[in-house]
């Protein structure tokens, strides 16, 4: 059985410091804030991810096109944090100015609208290319909708979700 990971105030402070130090070295004036109740995913994970939201004057530079820069920043910071702290830590999610929280809400709403359209027309619809994280949001949002099925198609950056009528 996995050992319970203790989340304490010092761990939060240490992670915030690492995030802010990296941003400072990048020449970006920003502050990282721990968001205990932020929701950026549907599936409950154990341990619950720690979400840090970065606030800066120009969030677009950290988010990048389609969130690609943010995904890379999150990967880099996760690696740095685990290397520097040398202890087992919960998964870390990095957000910038609430981008992931807004995107999560948008994707869930879009999934429901597209599912309604597919159920009404009986025709499958293919969504725009998305990251694995975003495709998982779509799949999870429609998992209990018996009118439709979802599948991912394509390769690498061109991977998309196709929403089909369940009787297709």
Taking only the tens place, the pLDDT of each residue in 44-56 is: 666 788 999 999 9
Say yes or no: 108 and 158 in one domain. Answer: yes
Positive/negative CA dihedral, 83, 19, 68, 135: positive
What does the pLDDT average to over 21-27? 96
Question: For the residues 134-144, what does the mean pLDDT come to?
Answer: 94
Burial 115-134 (b: 16+ CB within 10 A, else e): beebeeeeebeebeebeebb
Number of domains in the chain: 2
The candidate with the shortest Cα–Cα distance to 51, out of 64, 38, 63, is 38
Assess whether 13 and 77 both reside in one domain.
yes
Residue 79 shares a structural domain with residue 107: no
Q: Is it the case that residue 21 has pLDDT exceeding 60?
A: yes
Containing structural domain, residue 111: 102-165
Residue 121's CATH number: 3.30.1370.50
For residues 81 and 92, what is the distance between their CA atoms, to the nearest angstrom? Answer: 9
- CATH code, domain with 79: 3.30.300.20
Q: Where do we find the tokens 């429901």? A: 112
């Amino acid at each position: 059985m996995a050992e319970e990971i203790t989340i304490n105030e010092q761990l939060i402070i240490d992670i915030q410091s690492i995030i802010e130090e990296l941003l400072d070295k990048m020449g970006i004036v920003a502050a990282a804030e721990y968001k205990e109740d932020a929701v950026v995913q549907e599936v409950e994970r154990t341990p619950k991810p720690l979400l840090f939201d970065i606030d800066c004057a120009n969030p677009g530079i950290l988010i990048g096109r389609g969130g690609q820069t943010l995904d890379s920043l999150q990967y880099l910071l996760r690696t740095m944090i685990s290397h520097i702290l040398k202890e087992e830590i919960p998964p870390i999610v990095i957000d910038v100015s609430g981008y992931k929280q807004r995107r999560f809400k948008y994707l869930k709403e879009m999934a429901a609208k597209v599912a309604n359209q597919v159920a009404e027309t009986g025709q499958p619809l293919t969504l725009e290319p998305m990251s694995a994280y975003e495709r998982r949001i779509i799949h999870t949002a429609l998992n209990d909708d018996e009118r439709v099925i979802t599948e991912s198609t394509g390769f690498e950056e061109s991977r998309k979700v196709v929403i089909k009528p369940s009787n297709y």
